[in-house]
Amino acid sequence: MTRALLFFAILFLSANTAFADESKKKIDSLNDANSVKEIADYVAQSLKKSSDVKPTNDKEHAKLFREIGELSIAAGEKILKIAKEIPEQLEGYKLKISGLQFIIRANNLDKKESDESASLAKLDALISELEKDGRFPLIINNYRYAKFSKKLSELANNFSIEKFETLLEKAKQLSIASPADFKPITPLIQINNFASSQTAIKKDPKIAEKTTDNIFAFIKSDKCTLPESEKKEIIESLASISFNLESHNVYGNFTIERFNEYVRKAKVLASVATGDRLKKITPFLQVLNAALTEKGVKNDPQLAEKTLKDFTDFVNSNKFESPESDKKAILKSLENNSRRFIGANPEIYGRTLDDKNFDWAALRGKYVLVEFTSSWCGPCKGEIPGMISAYEKYRNKGFEIVSIYIWDKLEDTKKVIEDEKIKWINISEELTQKTDQPPQGEQYGIFGIPTMFIVGKDGKIIATDTREEYRKKKLAEIFDNVEPKKP
């Protein structure tokens, strides 16, 4: 059996009436059991020839979909008449189902509700027939998944808790359906992500938390027949996807409500993460970084401190099951991160590029932009032009920059400084590590670069996440007496 048959329905999108009619005649003439491959190949070749057909309106789309549907049904029925092996019969049923789905779409575009209902009834009847047959679970499961996805899409426009809970149960059933062309985790991801949508949260602010707990409880139970290794993988993947989605939400439109959900999902992910210890630490650090952004600080200047306490209490509690060595490492990392909070009094140290000790105390009385960077970092290089402009504008007004090159080779550090004509103070972590001083990136909880903050004349941090536009605004407030905008 060729791949052409598997992607039959996709290729139909390029068909036109002439080729469809020709294909149907050709299909009708083939009656030998060995003709299944020939049917697939012939139709696929015919459709490829008409790949330039591009409908421009609903009427043309509906006509094309109808032709596609009829051709698909004809091919499927012919295969079912002549096929003797189950794999070939399976493809015949796939084509019939695909054909009915295309005709349903055509009727929908033509606004023919009665015809659409009739086609839906035929499709349901065909599926019921296959369920009774019992030999084609793959088709049944794929159809159920397609129906689930459609219902979930419709739910966005007509949401109710009852409908959502029904679909949640279907998602759990689909996750253990076998065989299937979709991964067990896919329907669970879809329903879990939907629970984080504004549509769902408006109805129930706790729906995302409840849904995650419900899914995790199901996966851990005996009802879920997946292997234990696969269960753990699914739980971690779900938690990771959900956390990353919330990260996008928080950075896209920061609100305290979204941030609190971000905190919750970080705890969930850290609790289920397996393997490398860093996988447990990173969610906490990502959330703390969000608290230190301009929007986070404007919403609540103490947000980072509150979040740190929340995470510290959580790690120390029985809710967070992890080896004591991991807990100690996480708590140490959280403590290090606090050295970048508003009001913190950092003590920057290290070796400059000429291998001399850097004197942080000598900068007291100046405003200092501290940057953690690296020569290979693209976003870091993108910051350089703006930093050069700021340095030239404010250096004679009591402004200095200190760049700390971490995770970098000395020769590469020197090259980027020479190439970019950087004139401010530069510290090499490579040189620093040759002394007894600990890695500075680790001391300040750096896990992503560039990371920047501004230190005031008294040596305390006055602004965090000072990249691009925020840095320009903050320096203008300091040196040009520009009034800050109210949040």
The reported pLDDT for the residue numbered 94 is 85
Tell me the per-residue pLDDT of 446-469, one tens digit each, with 9 for 90 and over. Answer: 988 999 999 999 999 999 988 888
The reported pLDDT for the residue numbered 238 is 92
Share of the chain above pLDDT 90, in %: 56
Q: What average pLDDT score do residues 460-480 get?
A: 92
Q: Is the pLDDT of residue 141 over 50?
A: yes
Tell me the per-residue pLDDT of 291-324, one tens digit each, with 9 for 90 and over. Answer: 999 899 999 999 999 999 999 999 999 999 889 9
Tell me the per-residue pLDDT of 397-453, one tens digit each, with 9 for 90 and over. Answer: 999 999 999 999 999 999 999 999 999 999 999 999 888 888 899 899 898 899 999
Is the whole model's pTM more than 0.85, yes or no? no
Q: Is the pLDDT of residue 284 over 60?
A: yes
Encoding tokens for residue 354? 């000429």
Q: Is the pLDDT of residue 16 over 70?
A: no
Q: Is the pLDDT of residue 484 over 70?
A: no
The reported pLDDT for the residue numbered 36 is 77
More confident residue, 60 or 256: 256
Radius of gyration of the chain (CA): 31
Of the candidates 4, 19, 12, the one whose C-alpha atom is nearest the C-alpha of residue 61 is: 12
Domain regions of the chain by residue span? 1-135, 351-479
Lowest mean pLDDT among 365-379, 382-396, 431-445: 431-445
Instruction: Compute the distance between CA of residue 471 and CA of residue 390 in angstroms, rounded to an integer.
Output: 9
Which string of DSSP letters, residue by residue, matches 46-77?
HHHHTTT----SHHHHHHHHHHHHHHHHHHHH
Q: How confident is the model at residue 1 (pLDDT cuts 50, 70, 90)?
A: very low
Q: Which of 264-278, 381-395, 470-484 has the highest mean pLDDT?
A: 381-395
Q: How confident is the model at residue 4 (pLDDT cuts 50, 70, 90)?
A: very low
Classify 351-479 by CATH class. Answer: alpha beta
The answer for residues whose C-beta is within 8 angstroms of residue 125's C-beta and 6 or more apart is none
The reported pLDDT for the residue numbered 14 is 41
Cα angle at 218 between 213 and 221, to 5 degrees?
A: 125
- Determine the number of helices (DSSP H) and then strands (DSSP E) in the chain: 23, 6
Q: How confident is the model at residue 345 (pLDDT cuts 50, 70, 90)?
A: very high
The reported pLDDT for the residue numbered 43 is 62
The reported pLDDT for the residue numbered 12 is 41
Q: Mean pLDDT across the chain, nearest whole number?
A: 87
Of the candidates 217, 132, 126, the one whose C-alpha atom is nearest the C-alpha of residue 168 is: 217
Q: Edge to edge, what strands does the sheet with 461-464 contain?
A: 351-352, 425-428, 399-405, 367-373, 451-455, 461-464
Cα angle at 445 between 440 and 449, to 5 degrees?
A: 85
More confident residue, 88 or 254: 254
Q: How confident is the model at residue 51 (pLDDT cuts 50, 70, 90)?
A: low
Q: Is the pLDDT of residue 394 over 50?
A: yes
More confident residue, 10 or 32: 32
Q: How confident is the model at residue 5 (pLDDT cuts 50, 70, 90)?
A: very low
The reported pLDDT for the residue numbered 38 is 77
The reported pLDDT for the residue numbered 8 is 40
Tell me the per-residue pLDDT of 214-238, one tens digit each, with 9 for 90 and over. Answer: 999 999 999 999 999 889 999 999 9
Instruction: Compute the distance between CA of residue 479 and CA of residue 18 in angstroms, rounded to an integer.
Output: 74
φ/ψ (deg, to 5) at 452? -140, 155
